[in-house]
Structure 1
Amino acid sequence: MLLHDHLDGGLRPRTVVELAESTGYQGLPTTDVDELGRWFTAAADSGSLESYLETFAHTCGVMQTEEALVRVAAECAEDLADDGVVYAEVRYAPELFVERGLSLDTVIEAVQAGFAEGERRAAERGRRIRMVTLLCAMRQHARAHEIAELAVRYRDSGVGGFDIAGPEAGFPPTRNLDAFEYLRTSNAHFTIHAGEAFGLASIWEAIQHCGAERLGHGVRIVDDITEDADGLHLGRLAAYIRDTRIPLEVCPSSNVQTGAARSIAEHPIGLLAKLRFRVTVNTDNRLMSGCTVSSEFAALVDAFGYGWADIQWFTINAMKSAFLDFDQRLALINNVIKPGYAELLR
Structure 2
Amino acid sequence: MHLSDNTPLPGDGLTQDEIQQAPKVVLHDHLDGGLRPATVVDLAREAGYDRLPATDPQKLGAWFRDAADSGSLERYLETFAHTCAVLRTGEALHRVAAEAVEDLAADGVVYAEIRYAPEQVLGGGLAPRQVVEAVNDGFREGERRAAAAGRAIRVGTLLTAMRHADRSREIAELALAYRDAGVVGFDIAGAEVGNPPERHADAFDHLRSDGAHITIHAGEAVGLDSIRQAVQRCGAHRLGHGVRIADDITVAADGRVTLGRLASYVRDHRIALEVCPTSNLQTGAASSYAGHPIELLRRLRFRVCVNTDNRLVSGTTMTREFQHLVDTFGYGLDEMEWFTVNAMKSAFLPFDERTALIQQVVRPGYAQLRTHRLGRVPAARVPAAA
Tell me the TM-score normalized by structure 2: 0.89
Q: Give the partner amino acid of 1:185.
A: S
Give the secondary structure class of the aligned counterpart of 1:112.
helix
1:234 Cα offset (Å) = 0.8
Q: Please list, as runs of the form range in 1=range in 2, the aligned pairs for 1:1-346 lying within 5 A after superposition.
A: 1-230=25-254, 231-346=256-371
Deviations 1:288-322 (Å, cap 9, x if unpaired)? 11110111011100010011000000000000000
Distance 1:182 1:309 in 2: 40
Q: Give the partner amino acid of 1:252.
A: P
Give the secondary structure class of the aligned counterpart of 2:159.
strand
1:265–1:229 CA distance, 2 compared to 1 (3 A) = closer
1:244 Cα offset (Å) = 1.3
- Would you say the 8 A contact 1:4–1:90 is kept in 2? yes
Distance 1:39 1:210 in 2: 36
Give the secondary structure class of the aligned counterpart of 1:286.
coil
Give the secondary structure class of the aligned counterpart of 1:267.
coil
1:27 Cα offset (Å) = 1.0
Distance 1:119 1:243 in 2: 35
Larger mean CA deviation between 25-34 and 49-58 belongs to 25-34
Count of aligned residue pairs for this structure pair: 346
Give the secondary structure class of the aligned counterpart of 1:80.
helix
- Would you say the 8 A contact 1:63–1:97 is kept in 2? yes
Distance 1:267 1:200 in 2: 17
Deviations 1:225-248 (Å, cap 9, x if unpaired)? 112245221111111111111100
- Would you say the 8 A contact 1:309–1:345 is kept in 2? no
Distance 2:147 2:332 in 1: 29
Distance 2:229 2:153 in 1: 34
Larger mean CA deviation between 238-247 and 168-177 belongs to 238-247
Give the secondary structure class of the aligned counterpart of 1:91.
strand
Deviations 1:35-90 (Å, cap 9, x if unpaired)? 00000000010100000000000000111111100000000000000001010000
1:14 Cα offset (Å) = 0.3
Deviations 1:138-162 (Å, cap 9, x if unpaired)? 0000000000000000001000000
Structure 1 stretches of 5 or more lacking a match? none
Give the secondary structure class of the aligned counterpart of 2:246.
helix
Distance 2:228 2:174 in 1: 26
1:100 Cα offset (Å) = 1.5
Deviations 1:167-197 (Å, cap 9, x if unpaired)? 0010000000010111011111010000001
1:327 Cα offset (Å) = 0.8
Distance 1:114 1:143 in 2: 24
Moved over 4 A (4+): none
Distance 1:108 1:84 in 2: 26
Q: Give the partner amino acid of 1:289.
A: S
Deviations 1:113-146 (Å, cap 9, x if unpaired)? 1101111111111111101000000000000000
Distance 2:46 2:120 in 1: 19
The answer to which structure, 1 or 2, has the higher relative contact order (CA under 8 A, 6+ apart) is 2
Distance 1:96 1:208 in 2: 28
Q: Give the partner amino acid of 2:180.
A: D
Q: Give the partner amino acid of 2:105.
A: A
Distance 1:54 1:92 in 2: 15
- Would you say the 8 A contact 1:256–1:262 is kept in 2? yes
Distance 2:333 2:316 in 1: 20
- Would you say the 8 A contact 1:219–1:248 is kept in 2? yes
Give the secondary structure class of the aligned counterpart of 2:312.
helix
Tell me the TM-score normalized by structure 1: 0.99
